[in-house]
Every structure is written in structure tokens, then in C-alpha cells.
Amino acid sequence: MPNKTETDSVCKKITFSSDGFLLNGTLHLPPVPRPPVVIGSHGLFSDGDSPKQIALAEACNQCGIAFFRFDHRGCGQSEGVFNDVTSLQARCNDLTDAIKILRSGNDTENRTGLFGSSLGGAACLTVASVLDVDSLVTVAAPVRITSDIEAINAIENSANSNMPDTLFYKKNLQFDISDKLSMIRNILIFHGDADDVVPVSHAREIWEKAGDPKKLIIQRQGDHRISDEIHQKEFIKETVSWFRTTLLQQ
């Protein structure tokens, strides 16, 4: 049963399948008929209950945009063992099936935006390069993980206490999506210049290779998780403005 929030938005639980795994998510619906929707893809060790996604869902609803946040396979309430099922391609498959399930229903219209944080940003970039999406926002998205040094850096800088070992990264998370960036349009790119997990050079590369319209926001002394409150407010304000322009004013 959908639950109403204080803003008269409705939260609807949705379960869907991707490669045989049952994935769980929550669709935040504003009180308007068939709104456009933003679909969120969380970071490597996160899940759909991340504070960024919840705050963004509420802010999007306030301007008439739906938001779908879900747990990727192996995360949160979704099926799968994390170390066995996690890869960039698996995250892309999850995201693609999330788009399909929403477009096949009657809750939202087909205009779709994507939001991705860290590995979720890489998944959004990859999916947006091959599927018809209308808008894209990334935060601290890596263009590539191609060396043992980068893998070790990612491990050492992770806040997760149950980190996989280096072999996991070498086997599951080596990728390079730089050849897909030229196919990206309508993108807002966030990155902190003090990010010690994904260097800010990745954001600049995305901006340089993506097509117009595009916008790059480098947050001064910003870290990987946007932990600064002022940066968080800027992120919400700029992201909602971007989605409003690209999803509601076309």
C-alpha cells in the first residue's frame, strides 16, 4: 500500500527482476498525474536509502518530478551476494531494467532522468550512452578503474569496514568507459576537488568529451561523499534546477 508523506507525495514499493535477481525500490510520486521520473543509482557500498537520494527524491517531488531509488543486486534489501554479483555491467543491467519497469507502467511518463553517485555515476553514464534518457546528473563518477594502484586506493579510502580485497576489484571492477562519453548529452557533473577516492580529473574528462548541453560544478575542498553541509545544499539546489529544466521545460 502506498504511503503518503507530509507533502502529499506517495511512496510506492516496487520489486522488479534483473538477470534473475529480485531488486527492491521505492518510487516517490508527487501529487501530479504521470510525472517525469529520475532514477537513482547508488555508490559501490551504499544502497537506495542513501541520504543523498532521499533528500533528492523529496526535493524532486516538490517540483513535480518523481524519483525512484532502489537497491542494486547484492545491496540493501535486494537479492544477491555482494562479492559475487557486483560489477559495473551488473549495475548497468539493474539500471536498465529499472528504466524498463517504470516505462512499462502507468505511474510515470517516459521522460527519464538518471542520477548516479560514484560507481552509480559510471553506471548512469554507460546506460545513457546507449538508451534514450533525457537528463543526467553524476556525482564523483569514475571514468575508469584500470590499475592495481587505483583499486588499492579505492579500498584504502573506503569508509566500509567490510571491504572486499584487492582481488575483488581486479576481477569485478576494472573498466574504462571513456569511449562512451561523446554520446552523452544533457549532463550536470558534480565533483569535489579534494576527492581522494575518484580524482577530480575524471569530472573534467567527462565534461570535455560530453556534448551540449552540459555543466560542470567543482566544489572547492569537496570530498567524495559531499559531507559539507553547504556543498549538500548546493548539490540539491543545482540538481533539482537541472532536472526541472531538462525534464519539465521541454
Instruction: Give the residue from 210, 215, 161 showing the smallest Cα distance to 191.
Output: 215
Q: Which domain holds residue 134?
A: 3-248
Q: Quick count: other Cβ atoms within 10 Å of Cβ 249?
A: 6
Cα-Cα-Cα-Cα dihedral sign, residues 149, 154, 160, 166: negative
Burial class (CB in 10 A: 0-12, 13-18, 19+), 153: middle
CATH of the domain at 26: 3.40.50.1820
Strands 214-219 and 175-176, sheet pairing = unpaired
Separation between Cα atoms, residue 110 and residue 134, nearest integer Å: 9
Q: What is the pLDDT of residue 164?
A: 65
DSSP conformation class of 19:
T
Which H or E run includes 233? Answer: helix 229-243
- Give me the pLDDT at residue 168, please: 76
Q: How many domains does the chain have?
A: 1
- Per run of 10 residues, the mean pLDDT along the chain (length 250 residues) is 62 98 99 98 95 97 98 98 95 99 97 98 99 98 79 53 66 92 98 95 99 98 96 98 93
